[in-house]
Amino acid sequence: MTGQLLSVEDLRIQFRIEGRDYRAVDGISFSVDKGQTLGVVGESGCGKSVTSLGIMRLVPQPPGRYAGGRVMFDGEDLLKLSEARMRRLRGGRIGMIFQEPMTSLNPVYTCGAQITESLRVHSDLSPRAARDRAIELLDLVRLPSPTKRVDDYPHQLSGGQRQRVMIALALANDPDLLIADEPTTALDVTIQAQILELMKDLQERTGTAILLITHDLGVVAETCDEVVVMYAGSVVERARTADLFADPQHPYTIGLMAAVPRIDIEADRLATIEGSVPAPWVQVDGCRFASRCPLATDQCRSVPPPLREIAPAHGVACWYAPIERGRA
C-alpha cells in the first residue's frame, strides 16, 4: 500500500493569551504515506501535541486560531471542511490515541460503552453487534479477559490496560490514519515495549498509517520509517530514520542524540544542550536555535535558514549543513 495519505503544508497555529500571540506551530510541513509510520520528535513545548490537535481540528478557538497552511487528507483540506464532515472523519478514517490514558477515557462510562458509542456513530451496527465488536477489539489489543473488561470502568484498570483500551477505541472503525500522541508516556518499560509491539502488529495487519508523536528517540528508532524533528514550533530536520540516526545534520538533532544515555560509553555526566528555548511570543529574526548553537554566526542570528534537501529525502534547516562529524 503506497501513496500519500496526509500532507501538512506550512501549518501555523497561534494562541492569543493576555494580549500576546503565542506561535505554537509556525510553518511546519511534512507528509505521511499509506502504511507508513512517521515520527515527530522534539522536547516538551516544541509544538508536537498542538500539531496533532491541529490535524484533528481540535485546537480550541479561542484562544487558538489557525493562522495559515493546509492539512490535506486523501485529497481534502481538513481546515476547510464543515464541522459535521470533520466529526465523520474523527474516530472514523482518522483515529487518535491521546497523550494521557489516565484522563482521556470518560470515568463515568464503561470501557465497552465508550467503544460501542464510537462504533454506532460511524456505522449501522446494532447494540449487540457493537458490543461483540468491542470485545473483539479488546481481545485484538491483548487486554486480558475482554468479555469481563468490556464492562469495567477506567478506574478499575491499570495504566497499561487503559492505554490498550485507548488503542482499541482509536482502531474501532479501521482508520486509515492513526495519530498516537505520546502513547507510552508514564508507562513502565515492559508495558511500553508491549504497546509498541502491539501498534506495529496492528499496522502490519491493517495497513494503517501512523503519525507517532514522541520525545523518546528510542521509540522512534524502534518504530518509525521517517522522522521529523521539531524545535520551537518549526521543523529543523526531516529524514529516513536510519539516515537520521546514522548521520544527524542539524545541531539540535546532534545535541539530542548526544544526550541519549549509552551503556557502551562511560561518562561523568550526561550531555546537555546549553541554554533554553526562546519564548513563543518572542520574535526571532534568524534561526531559533542560534542562541544555543555552537556553530551560530551573525547570518544564523539574522536570517532564518530554509529547510533544504542535502541528500535524497533528507532535509535540514541549517546554513551549515551538511555538518562534518565532530563540529557540532
Number of domains present in the structure of the chain? 2
CA gap 196, 202 in Å, rounded: 10
Half-sphere exposure of 257 (CA within 13 A, CB side): 18
Same domain? For 113 and 205 the reply is yes
Same domain? For 154 and 40 the reply is yes
In a domain, 273, yes or no: yes
Same domain? For 147 and 209 the reply is yes
Query: What pLDDT, in 10s, does the model give residues 102-138?
Result: 778 888 999 999 999 888 888 888 889 989 999 988 8
Residue 121's φ and ψ, nearest 5 degrees, are: -70, -40
- Written as nine digits, the cell of 313 is 529525502
Helix pair 159-170, 111-122: axis angle to 10 deg: 10
Same domain? For 259 and 169 the reply is no
Residue 131 CA, chain-centre distance (Å), reads 30
User: Mind spelling out the 3-state secondary structure of 123-151?
Assistant: CCCCHHHHHHHHHHHHHHCCCCCHHHHCC
Res 153: pLDDT: 92
In a domain, 149, yes or no: yes
Res 266: pLDDT: 62
Look-up: residue for cell 508495558? 191
Domain that holds residue 89: 4-224
Half-sphere exposure of 93 (CA within 13 A, CB side): 13
In a domain, 69, yes or no: yes
Q: Which CATH number characterizes residue 99's domain? A: 3.40.50.300
In a domain, 158, yes or no: yes
Helix pair 127-140, 159-170: axis angle to 10 deg: 120
Q: Do residues 173 and 115 make contact, with C-beta atoms less than 8 angstroms apart? A: no
The length of the chain is 328
CA gap 51, 3 in Å, rounded: 22
Same domain? For 153 and 299 the reply is no
Q: Show pLDDT as tens, one digit a residue, over the chain (328 residues).
A: 567 889 999 999 998 887 888 888 988 999 999 889 999 998 888 888 899 999 999 988 888 889 999 999 988 899 999 998 988 888 888 988 887 767 788 889 999 999 998 888 888 888 899 899 999 888 888 888 889 989 999 999 887 788 888 888 888 888 889 998 888 776 677 777 877 887 888 788 878 899 999 888 888 888 899 999 999 889 999 999 999 999 899 999 998 888 777 666 666 677 778 878 887 777 788 899 988 888 889 999 999 999 999 888 899 999 988 876 555 5
CA gap 141, 101 in Å, rounded: 15
In a domain, 238, yes or no: no
In a domain, 164, yes or no: yes
DSSP structure class, residue 275: S
CA gap 76, 54 in Å, rounded: 15
Coil vs helix vs strand at 121: helix
Same domain? For 204 and 288 the reply is no
Res 244: pLDDT: 92
Same domain? For 100 and 216 the reply is yes
Q: Do residues 240 and 314 make contact, with C-beta atoms less than 8 angstroms apart? A: yes
In a domain, 243, yes or no: no
Coil vs helix vs strand at 85: helix
